[in-house]
Chain A
Amino acid sequence: MAHAYTPGLKVIPCTVLRKKRLLPIPGKVLVELDRQVEALDVVAQTQLPGKVFSVNVANRLAVGPEEIQAFMLKKEGEPVKKGEIIAENKPLLKWFKTSVESPVDGTIETVSAVTGQVLLREPPKILPIKAYVKGKVVEVTPNFGVTVESEGTFIQGIFGIGGETNGEIDVVAASPDEDLAPEALNAAHKGKIVIGGRHVSLAAIKRAVELGVHAIVAGGIHDRDLRQLLGYDIGVAVTGTERIGITLIVTEGFGMIPMAEYTFKLLSSRNGEKASVSGATQIRAGVMRPEIIVPGYPKNVTTCKKEDGRGWIEPGDPVRIIREPHFGVIGTVKSLPPELTKVGSESHVRVLEVDLPGGETLVIPRANIEVLEK
């Protein structure tokens, strides 16, 4: 067993991939078709409308909502500075004068004679979108962004947290079943994508954050550590917006699980090269998995693969069991009985027989395995 591949989870030495880089609202595209872009190039940007604040002028001046227009010093559409007076009353005695100041820099959006409220809007904010991967612009979506095409190594993890980042790959673990210890990390790892083996502990992640490591990739993590890191339990696997100072990707799952050897070897073959990574995970309809993209060909590869693999199981295929009581065990498919089989839980399910290296044969529900590529 050497080559690891999970259906749905891609681990490909070289493939052609396309990344859509689109703004959430219309803006300006800054690069043209066929342009070569670097990961950090801004390809499009827009202005996000500023936040809206309300001030109850009628209450503050103790007048009726329908009267406030008469006391306004600023009209709808006029710019204002923070602290600038936008409305004031005109009492006979100056002592009783009340003025209303703007809480923000911005413009007057509306003055309501029904509610007595004045809405103010802050100036717009610039929202840039970067290319994220090195490649070529192959499509421009006017006003929204571009599609960047890149050739290179593409590895999906099973779960991640933290957003897009990049850096040089630095394989720290000596083997896929070695844990990433905090002591193994030092100042030289700043800005890097650190590759661990079996497991990454809370202490190692904290150390990496201190050192300014951009991302960690490892086989597994304990859920308890994840909770401590985030300060809350992740309820639904929709991630990518966490701000913990690092992007974290696990390739296998929760617990102490050695990284698939093939994944580890592939990452090792790109050691020292620049990569783009994202921890964003979404496990619902429209699945999104965390990813590691290393542009360019690995040393021993000359052409890029276009197909994504076979997508079915045959006797002889190496598989990994992904559920208790044999979670993480690797074996070879012996047979695929077509009939429903009663398993220990008494459910009648489709199963397969898996031969283990030690000679033992297990019967496992087909839903509980992942295929590993030969």
Chain B
Amino acid sequence: MSKENLEIIIATDCGSTTTKAILIEKKGDTYRQTFRGEAPTTVEAPFEDVTKGVLNAITEVEELSGRRILDGERIITPNNGNTGADIYVSTSSAGGGLQMMVAGAVKAMTGESAQRCALGAGAIVMDVLASNDGRADHEKIERIRQLRPDMMLLSGGTDGGSVTHVVELAQFLKAADPKPRLGASYKLPVIYAGNNKAQPQVKEILDSSTALIVTENLRPSLERENLMPARHKIHDIFLEHVMQQAPGYPKLMKMVGAPIMPTPAAVGVMTEKFAKANNFNVLAVDIGGATTDVFSVFSGVFNRTVSANLGMSYSISNVMAEAGLPNILRWLPFDLEEQDLRNRLKNKMIRPTTIPQTVEDLQVEHAVAREALRLAFDQHKALAVGLKGVQQERSISDAFEQSASGASLINLMDLNYIIGSGGILAHSPRRTQSMLMMIDAYQPEGVTMIAVDSIFMMPHLGVLAQISEKAALDVFYNDCLVRLGTCLAPKGMGKEGQVIMEWELIEENGKRHSGELRFGEILHVPFTSPKGKAIVKPAKGFDMGAGSGGRVEAAIEGGVVGVVLDGRGRPFDLAKVPAKRISDLNKWYKAMEMYPV
């Protein structure tokens, strides 16, 4: 069936704990997501067959929709009346996802490029080895031996450059004799994407002891990254080796109509498609129980990072360890004993499925979420950078800026859209909570639209986008995104109470709202029109994207929350005096109608 004729699509995402199925149907010219079902993932004992969970989730969709999709364990294709589907696609992160170790000659150069390459392919990077990573050689070898990755990416050197470092890494790798995580019987896949001149030596060293795959250099010159060939190889090996070892996956691979993608890779594809279709700079985040994934597209450059130990249940205590207790306590509009907070978070860690019953307990989780989002974003900013080690040509006018190579690509003033997903953002009792948590964590500047993916459909849509971009984008706009609204935040600092911006908002139906924003306050304007316009005139010393005091007219989106005018200044920080901080928080939470009174 050609992709233009797709009418009925069934898609699943096999997560570590839950397998989610969605049904997409073409209604007139538009694709809509109509029914969904979910079932526990069945990768582990006693089932040890991922397809059981898939069939259960699809069966739920069958029951809800009245459409017969399964014939025993087979998906009926193509669709005919009220039976079957035209295509079935799936993503997977079950069994711990794709775990990789990467190596490069210089940590900040090929090491980072290799890391970006693996992360972009949807992997969890267990460690980055480099000739200059500060560890003694025997420590590196020990580390390779201890970790049992699914595969390894070896890079190093620019094409035609020195071969010494990369050959040394290959020798360490051979000495360590690493074993793959799953399946003791097969050799560890190693992708070599380094200096092309070293290929013969690397082959000689590693060909007999590993499953070596040689591809183009991911950093052919200092000025250029070429990540796609290695990324494609990672994806191929994921399907050919890693998936084959996971329980039931060979069966699942026969059921699908398009290659299975690692879940984060699919989310990345969807983020990129959305950014490209709208010419937006986009930040997307998925905050889960154990990990937080951050995706960004800035000026067309895609980046992904995963913070493996920042999350809201299994990893909640690690958020505390990394952020520090004071940083969590600062978001609470009441006093809480440090001992009490410590015990609460540890109890959540050991009983990860419990949920907040009181507002106070909810506020504690929201405080942790802000810090988890902030830390994961910091890690993302550190990796989403321009290439390091590149000589920059400077004119005399640049001489005063002194921007180093490797500056972060993330510029909050240029950020157009934030998409949040994951339980704490998608299922907050009030949507204002999700919006303010993201504003507090990311501190967007200027005009920024914010939405949530309430049932985490981006993986399904990302894999679908490989077959039909239209179907994926239709569902993304109509059913996946829950638009919260727009944040208008002038950059600059002032005195409390000082007028920092005049603003006017015009809804699609012509309805107007206007007023002044004072420093230190948050204004919340209900604004449900999907489209609208903001005309803002910041005071001198404040920037909305057109420089200090520059007037800005921008297209905005309304949503279930509306427009939030954030007058707390940028860079925003909370008051150091506890009483003032608590009073500020209460004032802002009240303005946002965050919590029941």
Contacts and interface: CB of A to CB of B under 8 A. Distances in A.
Interface of A: 25, 49, 51-54, 65, 109-110, 112, 114-117, 119, 121, 158-159, 222-224, 226-227, 232-237, 253-255, 281, 283-286, 322-325, 327, 343-347, 349, 364-365, 367-368
- A25, A109, A227, A368: residue with the most chain B Cβ atoms closer than 10 Å: A368
- B16, B168, B343: residue with the most chain A Cβ atoms closer than 10 Å: B343
B354 A52 contact: no
A78 B427 CA distance: 64
Contacts of B596: 346
Interface string B330-351: 0000000011001111110111
B144 to A, nearest CB: 10
Contact of A51 (B138, B177, B355): B138
A285 B44 CA distance: 8
Contacts of B167: 112, 114-115
A344 B355 contact: no
A286 B138 contact: no
Nearest to B348: A323
Contact of B137 (A52, A110, A116, A343): A52
Contacts of B17: 285
Interface in B254-287: none
Contact of A323 (B175, B338, B354): B354
A139 to B, nearest CB: 16
A254 B346 CA distance: 7
- B137, B345, B346: residue with the most chain A Cβ atoms closer than 10 Å: B346
Given A52-B141, A254-B350, A285-B44, 5 more contacts: A116-B164, A323-B355, A325-B360, A344-B357, A345-B429
Contacts of B164: 65, 114-116
Nearest to A234: B317
A367 B353 contact: yes
B171 A327 contact: no
Contacts of A236: 290, 309, 314-315, 317-318, 349
Given A159-B350, A322-B347, A347 B356 contact: yes
B362 interface: yes
B142 interface: yes
A363 B138 CA distance: 58
Contacts of B163: 114
B359 A344 contact: yes
A367 B201 CA distance: 57
Given A49-B177, A53-B138, A325 B346 contact: no
Nearest to B95: A285
A296 B141 CA distance: 45
Contacts of A54: 137-138
A117 B131 CA distance: 13
A53 B17 CA distance: 42
B317 A235 contact: yes
Contact of A322 (B309, B339, B349, B351): B351
B429 A254 contact: no
B577 interface: no
Given A222-B339, A285-B96, A235 B357 contact: no
Given A224-B342, A325-B357, A345-B361, A233 B321 contact: yes
B195 to A, nearest CB: 12
Contacts of B179: 25
B350 A253 contact: yes
B479 to A, nearest CB: 21
Given A345-B362, A367-B354, A110 B347 contact: no
Interface in B348-405: 349-362
Interface string B492-510: 0000000000000000000
20 contacts: A49-B145, A114-B201, A115-B164, A115-B167, A159-B346, A159-B350, A226-B346, A227-B342, A236-B314, A283-B314, A323-B351, A323-B354, A323-B356, A324-B360, A325-B357, A325-B360, A327-B347, A344-B358, A346-B359, A347-B355
B322 A52 contact: no
A364 B355 CA distance: 10
A158 B351 contact: yes
Contacts of B182: none
Q: How large is the interface on B (under 10, 10 to 19, 20 to 34, 35 or more residues)?
A: 35 or more
A307 B456 CA distance: 38
B358 A119 contact: no
A367 B338 CA distance: 25
A112 B345 CA distance: 52
- A54, A159, A223, A346: residue with the most chain B Cβ atoms closer than 10 Å: A223
Nearest to A342: B429
A42 B413 CA distance: 64
Interface string B578-597: 00000000000000000010
A49 B142 CA distance: 10
B9 interface: no
B168 A325 contact: no
- A109, A281, A284, A349: residue with the most chain B Cβ atoms closer than 10 Å: A284
Contacts of A327: 347
Nearest to B344: A324
Interface string B120-160: 00000000000000000110011001000000000000000
Nearest to A159: B350
A199 B343 CA distance: 13
Contact of B350 (A109, A283, A347, A349): A283
Contact of A115 (B16, B171, B344, B360): B171
Nearest to A158: B350
A232 to B, nearest CB: 7
Contacts of A227: 342
A254 B354 CA distance: 15
Given A53-B138, A285-B16, A346-B429, A253 B351 contact: yes
B430 interface: yes
Given A53-B138, A344-B357, A345-B359, A237 B350 contact: yes
A346 B138 CA distance: 55
B309 A222 contact: no
Nearest to B177: A49
A227 B343 CA distance: 11
B320 interface: yes
Contacts of A53: 137-138
Nearest to B364: A324
Interface in B469-489: none
A234 B318 CA distance: 7
A324 B357 contact: yes
Interface string B415-445: 0000000000001011000000000000000
B176 interface: yes
Interface in B1-48: 16-17, 43-44
Nearest to A253: B347
Contacts of B353: 367
Contacts of B357: 323-325, 343-345, 364-365, 368
5 smallest beta-carbon distances between A and B, as pairs = A235-B318, A346-B429, A233-B321, A223-B342, A54-B137
A54 B142 CA distance: 12
- A52, A158, A346: residue with the most chain B Cβ atoms closer than 10 Å: A52
Nearest to B141: A52
Contacts of B346: 159, 223, 226, 234, 253-254
A283 B17 CA distance: 13
A347 B429 contact: yes
A233 B316 CA distance: 12
Interface in B532-574: none
Nearest to B308: A236
Contacts of A119: 171, 175
Contacts of B172: 52
A289 to B, nearest CB: 9
B17 to A, nearest CB: 7
Nearest to A220: B343
A181 B142 CA distance: 42
A324 B341 CA distance: 11
A123 to B, nearest CB: 14
A123 B197 CA distance: 35
